[in-house]
Structure 1
C-alpha cells in the first residue's frame, strides 16, 4: 500500500458519507458514532487489486483492534473480510492515527472471549448471528509497531 494509490470507499451511501467525514476531519467526526468507536479499514481487493475502505465498529484487546465481519447477518462474509483472507495486510485509521496492521481471524476460546466483548459493545451482533447460519468472524488487527503502546480510543 503506497500513499499515492487511489482508495475506493464503500459503495453503500451512508457508509461512504461516514468515511468522507471521518477522513476530512481526521476522525473528529465519525470516530465516536452510535455510542461506540469506529475505525476506517483499507484492504486490497482480492480480485481487483484496488484499495477499498470501509468503516467498522471496533474494540480494543491489549494493543489490538478487534472488528466483526457481521455483514448485518447476511449469509455471506463481507468483502473486506474476504480481502483480508487473501491479503492480511491492512491500513487502519483510528481518529487521526494511521497504522499498518496484520489481520487474522480469532479462533477457539480467544474468539469466544472476543465475541462476548464485541457483543457487549454492540448488542446487535447477537441479532445478526440469529439471522445467519455462518459463523460470524471476529478479526484481530495487530498494528505493525514496536512501540508497545496501546492504540488510542
Structure 2
C-alpha cells in the first residue's frame, strides 16, 4: 500500500472526528501511537477535550484538486497562523506549497467555515508567532532543528468573497 492512501485514511478519520466534536480531536492514546496515529500529542495546558485543530481546504498546486489538511493553529487577530513543521522533514509540507501557489482557501474552525487568504509571515511577525507556538508546543522546536530548514509560518486572514 502506498503512503498517500494511509495518510488520506488518517486525515479522513481526523476530519470526521473534528466535525463530530465541534473542532476538537481527542488526544492520541498509546494504542493510537502504536497504530500510526501520531497526532495530536498531549500538550500541557489543554484539557481532556483535546487540542483544537483547524481544517484548511486548499487547491493542489500541481493537480488543481481540492485538499483538506487538519493542522494545529494559533489565533492571530481575526485570523489564524499555521506552522509547516511536517514532523521534522527536510521538505515543506504539500499544503504549504499549495497555499503559496493558490492563497485563496477556506478553513473550518470550530463549527464555522471561513474564506481566507494565506500569506507567509516574515521577519518580526514570524519570530513572534513562532516563539509563541514553540512555548505552547515545544516539540515544534525539535521539528525545526531536525528539519534543517526554517519552518514556515502561514497566516490565514479572513477574506470576504462571493463564491
TM tier, smaller = 0.7 to 0.9
| 1:108 maps to 2:123 | yes
Find the aligned partners of 1:44 and 1:141 in 2 and give their Cα distance: 15
Instruction: State the match for 1:27 in structure 2.
Output: 22
The structure whose residues are more often helix, as a share, is: 2
Kindly indicate whether structure 1 or structure 2 has the higher relative contact order, using CA contacts under 8 Å at least 6 residues apart: 1
Q: Which has the larger radius of gyration?
A: 2
Alignment root-mean-square deviation, CA: 2.3
8 A contact 1:64–1:142 mirrored in 2 = yes
Instruction: State the match for 2:64 in structure 1.
Output: 49
Find the aligned partners of 1:18 and 1:126 in 2 and give their Cα distance: 24
Instruction: State the match for 2:157 in structure 1.
Output: 142
8 A contact 1:41–1:90 mirrored in 2 = yes
Find the aligned partners of 1:12 and 1:73 in 2 and give their Cα distance: 20
| 1:17 maps to 2:13 | yes
Instruction: State the match for 1:130 in structure 2.
Output: 145
Alignment: residue pair count: 137
Find the aligned partners of 1:121 and 1:39 in 2 and give their Cα distance: 16
TM-score (norm 1): 0.81
